[in-house]
Amino acid sequence: MIDRARNSIRPSAGRVAAVTVLYHPHDDVVASVESYLGQVEHLYLIDNSDGVNHQNLFDDLMQTGRVSYYCQDHNTGIATALNKASGLASAAGFDWLLTMDQDSQAAAGMVQEQLKSISALSGERVGMIAPFHITKATGRPPEILISDVMTPMTSGCLLNLAAYREVGGFMEDFFIDFVDNEYCLRLRRNGWQVLRANRALLTHNVGDISKYGPFIATNHSPLRRYYKTRNRFRVFREYVTDFPGHCLFDLVRLAKEAGSIVLFEKNKMAKFLMMIRGAIDFFRCRYGRYDAAGRNDKEKS
């Protein structure tokens, strides 16, 4: 059982809050939240569910005074939710923000291992430190304690709020997908390190994935294919000069994703049509939430 009455960690690396971004959560989200609530001082729950309030799921946890629930009334996107929590945590005097997906569970001591790694790098500009993600596609963590990782997934990352204030917020017009990728590259461009603490473990559900040799079929929906294509091209344009190797690697990944759709996934035509639409909207500078009528929430000149 976790200690809900008080924070169990007050490390020299600083004070830690957490955010969990919710989207139509099920009852089992409470168990996920409890896996890390005892490792942080305060938890911000940002609910992006369309027109549904899920506060009742967290009534018991909120009685501790260490959990705050915010209902957005509609899906504002992952970046907007992260920015809201980052602002709240920064205003409350926290130094680090743990960013969690609703379907991720932290191993015991995950945050402490991350903070130990930060303390061991005293004087270094650590902008973000990820845990090792345990998924169907990963093996054992490496023996080395700390790894340099280019663009880790958001879930389980500790974000340095001083770095956040320096480089700015997450890209809200991305809405979803490549928000984490872009932010890590922006941190790096501004001289902040992005690392992984390999003894900090997180179990992460990445959806309906299957591995076929060099191919990984993610089985993302056509809409997700739209966002991934549009935002990926924007990242290419913005960062290819600073990080050409990474952008080339991701271009190869795009080709492999297309191959996986052709060979292993369903709804092939719908997915490719939405990828084409994503590319078109990139060239037209149409961003924000996708509108099936053909327009987006935001257009950039």
CATH number at residue 172: 3.90.550.10
Q: Is residue 137 part of a domain?
A: yes
Q: Which two tokens stand for residue 84?
A: 């809201």
Counting Cα atoms < 13 Å in the Cβ hemisphere of 185 gives: 22
* Confidence check: pLDDT of 286 > 90: yes
Among the candidates 204, 230, 255, a domain finishes at 204
Q: Is residue 250 part of a domain?
A: yes
pLDDT, tens digit, 9 for 90 and up, residues 97-136: 999 999 999 999 999 999 999 999 988 999 999 999 987 6
Residues 215 and 192 in one domain: no
Number of structural domains in the chain? 2
Among the candidates 204, 233, 252, a domain finishes at 204
3-state secondary structure of 186: helix
Instruction: State the residue range of the domain holding 110.
Output: 16-204
* Confidence check: pLDDT of 218 > 80: no
Residues 186 and 224 in one domain: no
Residues 200 and 251 in one domain: no
Residues 68 and 85 in one domain: yes
Q: Is residue 10 part of a domain?
A: no
pLDDT, tens digit, 9 for 90 and up, residues 12-42: 579 999 999 999 999 999 999 999 999 999 9
Does the reported pTM lie above 0.75?
A: yes
* Confidence check: pLDDT of 81 > 80: yes
Residues 136 and 48 in one domain: yes
Q: Which residue has the tokens 């930060």?
A: 118
Q: Is residue 5 part of a domain?
A: no
More confident residue, 45 or 136: 45
Pick from 158, 205, 150: which is nearest to 36 by CA? 158
* Confidence check: pLDDT of 195 > 70: yes
Among the candidates 184, 204, 224, a domain finishes at 204
